[in-house]
Amino acid sequence: MRLQVLGCHGGELPKYKTTCFLIDGVLALDAGALTGSLGLEQLCRVDDIIVSHSHFDHVKDLPLMADLIVGRRDKPVTIHASRECARTLRTNMFNNSLWPDFTRIPTRKNPVMQIKSFRAGASFKIGRYSVISIPVTHPVESCGFVVSDGSLSVAMSGDTGPTQKLWEVLNRTRDLKAVLLETSFPNRLQQLADISGHLTPQTLKVELRKLERNGAAVLLYHLKPAFVPQLKKELEGLPVEVLELGETFEF
């Protein structure tokens, strides 16, 4: 399995891009940096996108991607989203007001994109990949995921504060190679992190005690650009790696 880091921050500035990972060139996890990181031919090869939740930094490239690939694919790109997230995308994004409804363009039978909803906590298949969704702790319905290709698995936390079910699922996942785990705010902003459903280095430390790593790497993403230097300092000594743009992992 090949994992590309297209975006790994909790905000966007020059040299910082919002959350987006690409598996084997065809399956995206969140859509915060698809059009800003991939060329047109690469975009057209992405068949499926799993969206963790409806917040803008995780879905913002969906409408831009739709506009770019129209007429260039034989089948629609499938957006996999929890029921609440799918409803938000249909009502507030692809609604012909904020953006044209590319789930019905050029026709309802052959759209550029289709939205396929799942129940938070459900398991489903995407091509050769098996996916387990896991509800996590956030102000809107947010899910983490375990993605397996049959021989190994990688996991992504989604946006979350302190949580429990995620760790229960990961601890019984065989051949788990990596956990993409969010950490957003420095310790001095703990109250803000709690209100907004995010982790700080000090709450991350507590959460890591719940994980039976069994050799899996813990790779941090979603650091807020304004606090990256401070966060990196506060994370020193923890058994984690902070992700950087453009990194590629072969598992």
Q: How does pLDDT run across 152-186, given as a tens digit for each residue?
A: 999 999 999 999 999 999 999 989 999 999 999 99
Task: Give tens-digit pLDDT for 11-70.
Answer: 999 999 999 999 999 999 999 999 999 999 999 999 999 999 999 999 999 999 999 999
Q: 3-class DSSP state for residue 40?
A: helix
Sign (positive or negative) of CA dihedral 81, 82, 83, 84: negative
pLDDT score of 147: 98
pLDDT score of 110: 94
pLDDT score of 102: 98
Task: Give tens-digit pLDDT for 84-101.
Answer: 999 999 999 999 999 999
Sheet with 217-221, strands from edge to edge, namely 123-126, 129-135, 143-148, 153-156, 176-182, 217-221, 241-242
- In sequence order, what are the residues at sequence separation of 6 or more whose Cβ sits closer than 8 angstroms to the Cβ of residue 25? 2, 4, 42, 45, 46
Domains of the chain: 2-246 (3.60.15.10)
**pTM score of the predicted model:** 0.97
Sign (positive or negative) of CA dihedral 212, 213, 219, 225: positive
Q: 3-class DSSP state for residue 61?
A: helix
- Give CA–CA dist 29/175, Å, rounded: 20
Q: Are 142 and 136 in contact (CB under 8 A)?
A: yes
Tokens standing for residue 152: 């190994």
Tokens standing for residue 236: 């020193």
SS (H, E, C) 174-236: CCEEEEEEECCCCHHHHHHHHHHCCCCHHHHHHHHCCCCCCCCEEEEECECHHHHHHHHHHCC
CA-nearest of 35, 34, 45, 31 to 74 is 45
81 confidence band (pLDDT: 50, 70, 90): very high
